[in-house]
Structures are given as structure tokens and as C-alpha cells.
Chains A and B, each alone.
Chain A
């Protein structure tokens, strides 16, 4: 069984296509792994084994009938609980949506199902994708498979932890300020934020609509590329979807060649606040890329220092508006409807009871930033900073093909450590936020361990140049795994601290 769990998505799809193993066997093995370890990891809010096995059987039936299978047919996937899927509860990590069963699929859900991808269930997240640790989930905190006392990152910590605990070879997430990349970084997995508009937001519960970007999560760069290709593309149901061809990310991941590429190191991302081990692994990765024929140059993006501040005005402003839809009238929780209370009072009581502390903080900040008298100084200035950050990127991409930095300044912190210090929590997204503000694409790939915990290497590329992320990511991954004699997660699987996952000794 455990060799099916250790295999990547590309390998599993190949073996299912040749009939060497059935999609049902692959799905059953992953459901067994969830049953065995998820009490400890707590990655899933909801698992539907029956639905998953039925989807797997459908793939096996197609194969038996001689139909051609897609490149990910039969491969199991963990879905962040922000995507709607007909008949499966969607909470977005919030008590205010507890029990809601959506009557429709997100576009990405439709694409996954059409590709024969087997959805195992819905994964835990910070409430409405607000957080860097899953501690803001209305239900429970997910644990980092590398050290169960530590956070798995957030908001997509459930998806990342499912990958790192071998519960699923693929996952999807959404990235508004780093919610795919930071969890990938701290769990030793791969996470990609595509170009804004490259993946559809239809049927994805909205946090900050000008920033939210769905994207792929996996254990290898190639698997992420295969998933990227399945979920990306123009969607007429999302007005901000880009009507342009999806770059050939799979070819880029297979090509994995950085010879002659110009790679810019963002000078502003490093120094104070950055863990020495993180900076060390980052520097070593630069040397690896240089050894592979890339040219490394230092680049200054002076306004990136203001990105965090701009983000924590723009995002809460959009949050305060988007979360107005949770008004206790059409879906979700309703509190205080006693026949006497007015509709306003019921809204007040419901939202007071249904939202957690971080959602409330952001709604209040947004309401304040958008209120007359403060609008120009706060929201207006933040929008100007957004322009300056985009200009920094434009100037940098005149000189280099990609920009790189550590994904997040530290390795996984301890559960509880930053729970009551919002600013400290926000700093986890210091390096990831600029790409959300400018809308370009970015990825995190594992680049080693610091004090036994994973470190992520961030690659940023211009809008619609998502293929460059995969070229650089795959080149770095290929060289590092050959030096290590396997992927970073193989080290966890074979180590005493990963023994509880029971996936060791198979390769």
C-alpha cells in the first residue's frame, strides 16, 4: 500500500492508464491513510469515501472500455473547503457556513471531475482563508506532519498537510496573500499561485476578489504543472478571467532548464526577521541555479517594503464588502430570529456569533479604512502603493526573467506562538504579498531543511509567464533531489519523526 502513497500523481496516472493498478486501489489506499493518520494531522474537514470510490470506479470503467484517459485520471485530490462541490458541505472554515451544501460546482471542481481526478474530501483552512496557520479555522487546527506541535501554514494548511502526510498526491488551494505558497514552504511541498485571472474564481468563496487566485498544490513540480493545466483557462462565468492561452507549464516542468536565464534576487527580502537557516538554504539554492547555468543578479524593489501595509488595507476593505453576503437570509447560520427582532438585529447577532476573531478584525479594519474621512489616507494610499509595487515588478522584469526570495521568513512556528499577535502572524506573508498585489504569478518549491523543518524557495514571474516558474522550480528540484537521493518528503517518510505515517522503506 505505502508505495502507492509515496508515488507522485504523474506516476500514479501512468500506472492507472496501463492497468497496472486500478484507480479504486489507489483511492482506497489514500482513504486508508486518511483513516490511519488524520486523527493526528486533522487536514480534512470532510471525507466522502463513497463518492471518491465511485469516481475511481468510473475511471476504471472508462479504461476498461478503451477510452483514452486524461493525464491525471484516477489520481486522488484534497480540495480546500473554499471550492463549492455539489452535494458536499462547504464551510470555508467558518461556523457561519456550517452545514451549507452548495447546489452547484465551482468551475475548477467541474474541470477536475471532467479530468477524472478523484476528490477525496474538503480540507481545513483559516476561516474565509484569513490566516497563516489554520488556527483561525472555526473547527480545529491542522498539524504540521513534520512536527505535530507546529502549524502547517495557512490559510491552505489542510491541503498542504494532506500532501505532506501522504493522504493525497494532489491538492488545490487559493492564494490571496500567500495561502498556497506559505503552507507549501513550511510543509516541504510545492505550491503555485498562477497569474491572477489565469484560474477561475467562479464558485470559490470570495475573500478579496482583486487578489484571490486558485492554484495547484503537489509534492513535485511536474505534478503541480499537470494539475495547473487541468484547472487553468478562461471562464466566461468569471468576469476577471483572462481570455488567453494557458502557458505550456507541463512542457516547462519537463524541460527544467535554466541555462542562460537571468534570475533576480530581491534585495529587500532578507536580513532582520529572517531565520538564518532559511537564508542559508536560499543562498545554497542560488548557487545550485548558478551552477546550472543561470545568471544571478541582485535587484532592488524598494516599494516591496510597503506591500504588507498596503495589503492589510486593500484586503480587509474587500473583505468587509465581500463578507456582507453572510447576512443570515439566504444561507448559513441565523441567530436571534424570535419573531420580534428586526432583520438588522438578526444580522448583527448572527454575524457576531458566526464569525471568528480574525474575520471580525478584518471586517472592522476594512470598514474603518473605507469610511469617509479615512478613505483617502488609508484605502486611497494603499491603492497608490499597489501601483508602485507593480512598477517595481515591471522595472525588475526588464532586467531579469524571474525574481526569487525565501517564500516566508521562518520555518513553521509553534501552534499558539502567534495566535494573539496579529502583526506577527501577518509577517508570514511578507515575501508572498507583492505578487498578489501586482497579479503576477509565483511559486514555492522545497529547498531543504533548517533545524529539521522545511524551507521554501519562492520564484516570481511576469503575468502570463507561469511556465517560467516551472522551468526554474523543476531545475532546482531535479538538482536538489539528486543530491539528496530523493525528495524532501522522502526524508520525512524515512525518518524516525515520520515513522507514524507508516510510509517508510519502500524506495
Chain B
């Protein structure tokens, strides 16, 4: 299998986690060992076994459609890294050529 530092960097970008060169070199062999170890799940996962995604057999939990009070906007914005005009301020979302 052998995950390379380049593979880990690509996975990092997919997950939006920038990893340093040092981290990539350190993580790649560690992740290899972990993945090799967990791969044994395939030994018993036969085609006839249904998957379980959740311990409770629940589908579509509904609640009553009742209006309740929301958190005050100021209380929520107080925790934001950047705020402008009573809204979350975010970095630019479009690229130059978009």
C-alpha cells in the first residue's frame, strides 16, 4: 500500500488541512501502519453481512413544527473571528478568473 508523503499532502488538501513537510514525512509511515492494521476488517466482512451505520435503528426523526426563540445574533457573532455590519466577515470566496 505504502502511502507517500505526497499522498498524505493530497489527502490533507482534500480535508483542508495544510501539513508541513516535516509533518508529511512523519505522518506517512504512521498512517501506513494504522491502515495496514485496520485493513483486517475485510477478513470477516462477507457479502451476506448487512452494514450498520448506527446503533439505533432510527429513520426520519420528526419534531413538532413550533417556532422557538433563536440565539441573539450578537451572542453568536461575539464568537466569530471577524465581523462586519452585524454579519460574519469571510475571506474572498471567488478567484481572480472566476
List the interface of chain A (C-beta within 8 A of B): 100-104, 196-197, 210-211, 236, 239-240, 242, 303, 306, 309-310, 312-313, 320, 324, 327-334, 337, 339, 341-349, 351-352, 355, 357, 360-361, 363-368, 371, 377-378, 380-388, 390, 422-423, 437-440, 463
Contacts and interface: CB of A to CB of B under 8 A. Distances in A.
Interface string B4-47: 00001001111111111001000100110111011111111110
Given A240-B56, A331-B80, A384-B46, A368 B20 contact: no
Contacts of B33: 422-423
A384 B45 contact: yes
Contact of B16 (A337, A344, A365, A439): A344
Interface residues of B, number: 55
Contacts of A422: 30, 33-34
A101 B79 contact: yes
Nearest to B71: A103
A179 to B, nearest CB: 17
Contacts of B52: 383-384, 386-387, 390
A102 B79 contact: yes
Contacts of A349: 18
A44 to B, nearest CB: 22
A351 B16 contact: yes
Nearest to A313: B38
B83 to A, nearest CB: 10
B45 A381 contact: yes
A388 B90 CA distance: 46
Contact of B81 (A328, A357, A386): A328
B17 A355 contact: yes
A324 B30 CA distance: 23
B67 interface: no
A365 B36 CA distance: 11
A364 B49 CA distance: 27
A334 B17 CA distance: 13
Contact of A361 (B34, B46, B54, B75): B34
Contacts of B49: 384, 387-388
A348 B34 contact: no
A348 B18 contact: yes
Given A330-B88, A363-B15, A388 B44 contact: yes
A329 B41 contact: no
A448 to B, nearest CB: 32
A148 B51 CA distance: 44
A312 B40 CA distance: 11
Contact of B55 (A210, A306, A324): A210
Contacts of A357: 23, 27
12 contacts: A101-B79, A103-B78, A309-B38, A329-B90, A337-B91, A351-B15, A352-B12, A357-B23, A364-B11, A377-B39, A380-B45, A384-B50
A423 B36 CA distance: 11
Interface string B61-89: 10100000001100110111110000010
Nearest to A329: B90
B82 A337 contact: yes
Contacts of A383: 51-53
A343 B90 contact: yes
B56 A196 contact: yes
A367 B79 contact: no
A380 B50 CA distance: 10
A384 B51 contact: yes
A309 B23 contact: no
Contact of A331 (B27, B58, B79): B79
B11 A368 contact: yes
Given A352-B17, A361-B31, A103 B46 contact: no
Contacts of B88: 329-330
A339 B90 CA distance: 10
A345 to B, nearest CB: 8
A382 B37 CA distance: 13
B41 A309 contact: yes
Contacts of B3: 368
A463 B91 CA distance: 47
A319 to B, nearest CB: 10
A143 B93 CA distance: 45
A360 to B, nearest CB: 6
